[in-house]
Amino acid sequence: MEKKPFLTESMAQDIIQDVPTPFHVYDEKGIRENARRINKAFSWNKGFREYFAVKALPNPIILQILKEEGCGVDCSSLTELMLSEVCGFSGSDIMFSSNQTPVEDMKKAYELGAYINLDDATMVDFLDRVAGVPENIFCRYNPGGTFQLGESKEGFQVMDKPGDAKYGMTEEQMIDSYKKLAAKGAKNFGIHAFLASNTISDAYYPELAGILFQLAVRVQKATGVHIAYINLSGGVGIPYRPEQTENDIMAIGEGVRKKFEEILVPAGMGDVSIFTEMGRFTTGPYGALVATAIHEKHIYKEYIGLDACAANLMRPAMYGAYHHITVLGKEDAPHDHKYDVVGGLCENNDKFAIDRMLPKIDIGDIVYIHDTGAHGSAMGYNYNGKLRSAEVLLCEDGSHRLIRRAETPRDYFATLDFLPFMKPLLGEYNDD
């Protein structure tokens, strides 16, 4: 089975004239249409808002596109807050979910008027001490144990272990925290939870919603506070493998609506606003890493070496994650060669694919690695002195636009510019 790229070989070659490989490219049309689908799926809820997870794709042009489509942002650090602020987000546009939070991060979130989501019961006094308690406040829930769904439509089981996760509070801690926060002046309360990652099952969000809606009823009864918001966070996945079927966001929205009508409305809580943080689902399929085959190697296995490496896309090396590969211009050629597709890091896990059946790859072929629009470029790093690649936007009209330039050696050495003996080296790479 094959996945269809949103870029043809001729389109890629056109971009390469301006931006050498490797680069990440994003499909503006796909991102906008998907954001509209999400908003439509939850339009039954008067207060619904999608808070795009900035960590998935922290590029200001992408954030501005999503802002135009009505999305807010989910931030977890000072720099993500700063980036969101310059893109025009403030107040209730921002959800701040952090853990082990530095003082300056919390102060910034408070100053921006963001929805602050407390990860731990000890954070109540911390927030009060370093910033103050706002009228709107969230607490993050961890139910412990194992979260499991039966077989999904593709035959994959959804299972994760919240009890092993470092995030969130117990129910008892949440109740105690809400009481303390109410005493300190909080008026409207929210519940947030994340129980499983990258689920390919339409049942996950409705199941999570049912758990959180029942929790909300219990907590409101136990504390007397007003539960105004429930944030289902992320976890809705994308089909990285070609045999997987993509989630039906309309069916997911309808499943959550049924739980809402079944649990919250009879409890007199029909005014609750539903929030989501679907970073991966929103942009993941609409990004690709484009690289060039620069070497081949024939030893005990057949290798194709790219000008990209794990510094440009960490997921396969870090998680053993699957990313589909298309050789542009050879989409219809027989997949009769078995390759390890690798990068140039001095690490043996720097492999985009292992034993992958692909068409014969020649030096100079353009390799398109699918589904890098979330947690792709964002997880880049500089190990081995490798430099982060450029980011390009494929605009709705078919043109392309550079939205992040590639790093240069000058960028790599910039944090050493205070050392006198580094100045000649930095001078070699003067941007002038």
Catalytic positions, written as ranges: 346
* C-beta of residue 153 within 8 angstroms of C-beta of residue 202: yes
Q: For residue 413, give the H/E element and its range.
A: helix 409-413
| DSSP per position, 76-123 | -SHHHHHHHHHTT--GGGEEEE-SS--HHHHHHHHHHTPEEEE-STTH
How many Cα atoms occupy the beta-carbon half-sphere of 28 within 13 Å? Answer: 20
CA–CA gap between residue 27 and residue 19 (Å, rounded): 16
Report how far residue 101's alpha carbon sits from residue 121's, in angstroms, rounded to the nearest whole number: 13
User: How many other CB atoms sit within 10 Å of the CB of residue 145?
Assistant: 10
Separation of alpha carbons 225 and 176, rounded Å: 11
Does residue 199 sit in helix, strand or coil?
strand
User: Cα–Cα distances in Å, from 358 out to 12, 80, 161, 304?
Assistant: 19, 39, 36, 11
Per-residue tokens: 254: 């309808």
Please measure the distance between the N-terminal and C-terminal CA atoms of the chain and give it in whole angstroms. 48
Q: Which residues pair with 430 in a beta bridge?
A: none
Identify which of 181, 89, 82 has the alpha carbon closest to the alpha carbon of residue 127: 181
CA angle 8–13–19, rounded 5-degree value:
120
C-alpha to C-alpha distance for 184 and 419, rounded to whole angstroms: 49
Nearest to 31 by CA among 364, 287, 378: 287
For the chain, the residue count is 432
